[in-house]
Structure formats: structure tokens, C-alpha cells
Amino acid sequence: MRTAHGSTARAGFAGFALERGQPIGDQIVGRLMAAIRSGAVEPGSRLPSIRALAEQLGVNRNTVAHAFRELAEKGYVETRFGGGSIAARPAPTLPAASPVQVPAGAAPAPAGAPLSEREWERRFARHLNGYLSPVTPPLFPTGAPRPINLFQMRPDTGLFPLEAFRRCLNTVLRRGGRHLLNYGSPAGYLPLREQIARRLRQQHIDADPSQVLIVTGSQQGIDLLARAFVDAGDRVVVESPMYSIALKIFSVNGARLHPYAVGPEGVDLRPLEQLHPHEAPKLFYAVPNFQNPTTHSYTLEEKAALLGHAYRLDSLVIEDASDAELHGEPQRWPALAALDRTGRVIHLNTFSKTLVPAVRVGWLCAPTPLVRRLTELKEMTDLSQSLILQAAIAEFMERGIFDEHVARLRTAYRTRMERVLELLERALPREVSFTRPDGGLCVWVDLPAHVDVQRLFEQTRRRGVLVSPGSLYQPLASGRNGIRLCVAAEPEERLAEAFAILGRELEEVLRSPPPAPAEQEYQSMH
């Protein structure tokens, strides 16, 4: 029965017959474990497909799938990307370490150890009170079929030119060799900063490499800037609704938030008129192109007006351009940093959407004196990022693959969005409206104020569809009501299924009577 590596033989199951009276799953699990342990099946051997084995044994596919899952949990089976399973050998279990002998009386244990949940809570810094959940309930029970995930802002990783990137990785490892194996500069790998500065200049943002700081995703950039500038009680101007984790970051740092609305008709900057220089905000945080979560792009007038308020109040502006490159041309949707001539706009961007989130590389562009100080602050968090990945990305850009890839992405997402909008048009109730973005990853669905989006989230979740409730994005107790749907990472059939479920649930929610006025305000998660 010895099966060679890569053989398509029914590794481990040739001549296998089930015994009566024994659970079938246990027999399958036992058979393969024994075959691997005895060496009859070598690790790496291809296993029969679930369908083939179910047919061979005359049993239900689910039974075999369950058994394979159990084998995978035990480390005897690995599922391959793209389908198929191979035999594996679990890592040997380490011998139990002998207990450390504490000299008698040297370290008397305090009463009450180990610490209770409440004790942990008490020990956290006060400014984190109420922000860190002791338990994060799983979005979906383990073992249930994979939900249709419209919740996370995920790109379609299938569009990533993996082979080309692997070649870049190989090249830099061969060429850069051991230089790439150490800590790098906390500001980032210089050739990557040069490439990014070049790209920024193409976007009409005046940048040289000394103005570029590499960060662990734009997320770290927001955190870094909040830590750098916000003292408890400082004012920060934000959008409503706004990017949910930026909302958390500013709140945790004790900021007093001054929101302005990003509505279906555009941004309403009137609340900023009431701010006077003596109560000036330290910062503005905005996502002016393809805003998260609403997908709105500020008009040129809106951008100019926002900058005008920042200048009048002598505030700094954080421009988060995380999603912008997926949509389009910088002439059509210029960055705030391209319009600014005063150096007050700090521009953030990321490779998470144009490459893949897994590279965890983003950048911040700001005047050099600020970048120097931020570099030191960032070093306190992470010392530096992976030189290997940064060098591979720089190579990817130098070869021109990045530019070509982004151009292809724009077309792919635009085509997909057209299809998504058609599907939504058919599936959602007529009285519901949604944004029509020019490509990108998400659509925002506006809902009447009385709709409880948290309840809608729960209802669709029970039916296997995760949507993002607008309550996550609210700096105000009542703001633009709706849900965000991220539509890039699920195949079309699953999207159609999800929209049909959402449409049915929405019909029901819309028919429910609005709650009594006191309950009408829906609650932010913070």
C-alpha cells in the first residue's frame, strides 16, 4: 500500500472496507492515522477526494468531510489551496517540561492569584475603560458553513499576481541576501520609500523619500498620529459616519469629536463654522476619496472648503486615502495633499487593497521634520518592518508590475461593481437606495432612521450573511442610518444569494412598525 509522494492512488484507503457497528467517521480517521504512523502512507501523498472516498465506501459525503476535518485538526491531513488534501505527519509532542522549583519562601504567592476578569479590567489604564471587550463573540459559530462575508473590507486576493510577486521575493533574497535579514530603518526601506515618493508625485503630491514613512498598514499611521498629537480633551474633526477603527483610536486617546455629516447629497460642513480659533481642533481626520463607509467622494469645492476650515483653525489634516487608488485617476479625484500648499495635510495610504492586506505595509507622507519625529515614535512600537517584504514590494514597483496591476484592478472592480449594482437593484426593496460607486470594494445602503441595523445584522447573520451595521461608524448617537456591503471578495453566485437574503430580511424589517420615539436613536458601539 506504500504510496509515493504526489501519487493519485487512494492513499491509505485501497481495499478499505467498513466494519458494521462502528461509527464510520471513527473508522476513516483511525484507518488513515494508522497508515501514516506505520509509514504505509507517506506525508505529502495525495488523498482521495471526499467525493471519491464517499463513493468508494458508499457513505454520505458529509461523513467523510467531517472525518477529514477531524484528521486535519489532529494534524494528519492538510488541505491544499485550490482543493484536494494530502497526508501529513503531526508535529511530535514535546515531553512535558518538569515543573520549575520555586525556593520555599522566595516568592510567596499573593492571595487571589490568578487574577479574575474583574481584576484585569481594574488594572488597565483608565483611558481604555469601556473600549476593550473582555469577550469577543465569534461572528459565526465554528463548524457552520462559511458565511457570506460582506462585513470585512477585503480585496479579492484572487486578482493578486502571486507568481510575479514570488519572483520579486526570490530576486531580492538572491540579490539582497543577508542584508535583508536584519532590522531595517524604522522609517522604512529606502528603495521602497523612493518608489512611493515617485508614485505620490504622479498623484500631484509633492514628495521626496525623506517625507515618506513606512507603516504597518495605514492603520498604524492613524494610531501613530493620534498618539503623536492628541491629548485627552483635544478636539478632532471627523466625518459622520466614519471609519470605525479610527473612531475607536481617537476615542481611546480621549479626543472630543466634532463630526460633520457625509450624507447622500454630499458633506455638510456647517458644524465647523461654529468652531473658533480659540477652540481649534488639533486634527481633522477625513477619507475624502471613496469614503469608508459611505463611498462618497468629496467634490473639489467640498475639499477646498474642508481645507479652508483647517487653515482658518490652524489644524492639521489627516487624509486617509486607503481605498482611493482602486477607483481612479488622481486628476479626477485629487487628494487633499495634492491641493494643499501649506504642508498641513498628512497623507496616508496602504498596499492592503492594491496588493493584499497580508503584506501589512502602508505609508504616511508628511513634511520631513514631522516624519523624523514620527519615526522615533513608531520605533517604540515595532522597531522596523520586514525588510524582505518591503524589498519585494519595491522590486514589484520598479519592474512596473504594480502600475499595470493597479490599472487592471480598477477595471476588474469597476466591472464587478456594475454587476453588483444590477444584482442589488433586483434584490433590494424599492424604497431602499444605495450608492453607485465607480468600482472599489463596497456599497453603502441607506436605510430609514427607524430601522434597527443591529437587528438587521443579527437576522442576516442567522441566515449565513454578514453585513456591516452602520452603528459601527457613528461618532454621533444618531447619524446616517444604513449598512455597508463589501462585495469584492465573494464570488458572484454567493453575492446573489446574499443579496436575496438581505432583500427578504429588509422587507421584513421595513414592514415592522417604528419603535416608540425614546428608542428611536440607535446606539453607537462606543
Minimum distance from residue 13 beta carbon to ligand PLP (Å):
43
Q: How far is the CB of 489 from ligand PLP (least distance, A)?
A: 12
Which of residues 29, 153, 488, 509 is near ligand PLP by CB under 6 A? Answer: 153
CA distance 485 to 496: 13
Instruction: Examine residue 320 and tell whether it contacts ligand PLP (CB under 6 A).
Output: yes
Which helix (H) or strand (E) segment is 468 a member of?
strand 468-469
**Which residues, 6 or more positions from 4, have their beta carbon under 8 angstroms from its beta carbon?**
42, 45
Enter the DSSP assignment of 5: T
In the stretch 185-204, what mask flags binding to ligand PLP with x, by CB under 6 A?
--------------------
Q: Does 460 bind ligand PLP (CB under 6 A)?
A: no
Among 33, 57, 287, 453, binds ligand PLP (CB under 6 A): 287
Cα separation values, 37 from 31, 71, 74, 92, 249, Å:
10, 13, 13, 12, 51
Q: Are 482 and 446 in contact (CB under 8 A)?
A: yes
Least Å from the CB of residue 317 to ligand PLP: 15
Query: What is the total count of residues that contact ligand PLP (CB under 6 A)?
Result: 14
User: What residues between 463 and 522 interact with ligand PLP by CB under 6 A?
Assistant: none
**Does residue 468 contact residue 444 with C-beta atoms inside 8 Å?**
no
Among 362, 440, 479, 482, binds ligand PLP (CB under 6 A): 362
Does residue 239 interact with ligand PLP by CB under 6 A?
no
Nearer to ligand PLP, 87 or 225 (CB): 225
Binding status of residue 292 toward ligand PLP by CB under 6 A: yes
Kindly state the smallest distance separating residue 288's Cβ from ligand PLP, in Å: 11
Contact (Cβ atoms closer than 8 angstroms) between residue 335 and residue 324: yes
Stretch that binds ligand PLP, among 205-213, 315-323, 337-345, 423-431 (CB under 6 A): 315-323
CA distance 325 to 409: 9
* Least spacing, CB of residue 394 vs ligand PLP, in Å: 18
Binders in 205-234 for ligand PLP, by CB under 6 A: 217-219
Among residues 167 and 360, whose Cβ is nearest to ligand PLP? 360
Is the Cβ–Cβ distance between 385 and 354 less than 8 Å?
no
- The answer to the question of residue 352 lying near ligand PLP (CB under 6 A) is yes
Cβ 446 to ligand PLP shortest distance, Å: 19
Contacts 24+ apart (CB under 8 A), 128-131: 128/252, 130/526, 131/248, 131/251, 131/252, 131/526
Cell numbers describing residue 420: 453588483
Nearer to ligand PLP, 310 or 441 (CB): 441
Q: Which three cell numbers stand for residue 457?
A: 445584522
Whole-angstrom Cα distance, residue 509 to residue 454?
11
Which of 151, 243, 298, 333 is the binder for ligand PLP (CB under 6 A)? 243
The cell numbers describing 133, all together, are 471587550
Query: What residues make contact with ligand PLP under the rule CB under 6 A?
Result: 153, 217-219, 243, 287, 292, 320, 322-323, 350, 352, 357, 362
